[in-house]
Amino acid sequence: MDSLEQMSAAPKVSSASVAESSPASAATHSPLFKLPRELRDNIYEYAFCGPRLRITKHGGIPEPALLFTCKIVRQEAVVLFYGREKRLVLVIDSYDPAVIELWISKRVLLRQIHALASPPADFYHIGTRNWNNLKLGLQLHHDYKICALSCGSPGSPSYSDEEFFVMGLFQIAAEMDCKAWEAVEVVLGMLRPGLVKLHQDWAL
């Protein structure tokens, strides 16, 4: 019997049986999906009640393992994960805008795939003061219309005058989104001396 005959003699697998054995089909047969959606949402939220995720330049966005169990769970749970207040902490070292860029790219994907417009997050700045890095971050807030976010220090219950000043700069950059960045940059440059009064390192 030649190879062609062997192939024709082999038992045929129906498309229905293939569908039955697919991961998506197996997932829908899970007891989890026999529960009402409201109960599944409660389960997802319970799974997400751990410590806040810290996003750094080198660590990326460490999503919980639950979001990788299957496509159906991810579709249902990802909006709950990213939509909850105070879920994520963006740790920005020396005002390096790399973490903001990472977060912006994630926001774009969440909007395109899940119609989640503006996931909330807190910004925490660590390391040295750097006006050029800060200005790049302000430009990203202006260009992508990111609302002002808290810019405190990790674990701090309140903001210093300097942190309030920086938050104000982000607010200005975001609210002047209808203006060209060059015009916004002039305004921010005029405000820089006030920041320098709070700490001389902003003059460097």
Sequence spans of domains, the chain: 52-203
Dist. CA 154–CA 54, nearest whole Å: 10
Dist. CA 124–CA 93, nearest whole Å: 9
Quick one: pLDDT at residue 49?
A: 83
Average pLDDT over residues 183-188: 95
The model's pLDDT over 158-172, given as tens digits with 9 standing for 90+, comes to: 778 998 898 889 889
pTM of the model: 0.69
* Both tokens assigned to 142: 């202006």
Dist. CA 172–CA 40, nearest whole Å: 41
Average pLDDT over residues 10-14: 44
Average pLDDT over residues 133-138: 92
Query: Could you tell me if 126 and 93 are in contact, meaning their C-beta atoms sit under 8 angstroms apart?
Result: yes
DSSP bridge pairs for 154: none
Q: Is the pLDDT of residue 177 over 70?
A: yes
Dihedral pair phi/psi, residue 12, rounded to 5°: -85, 140
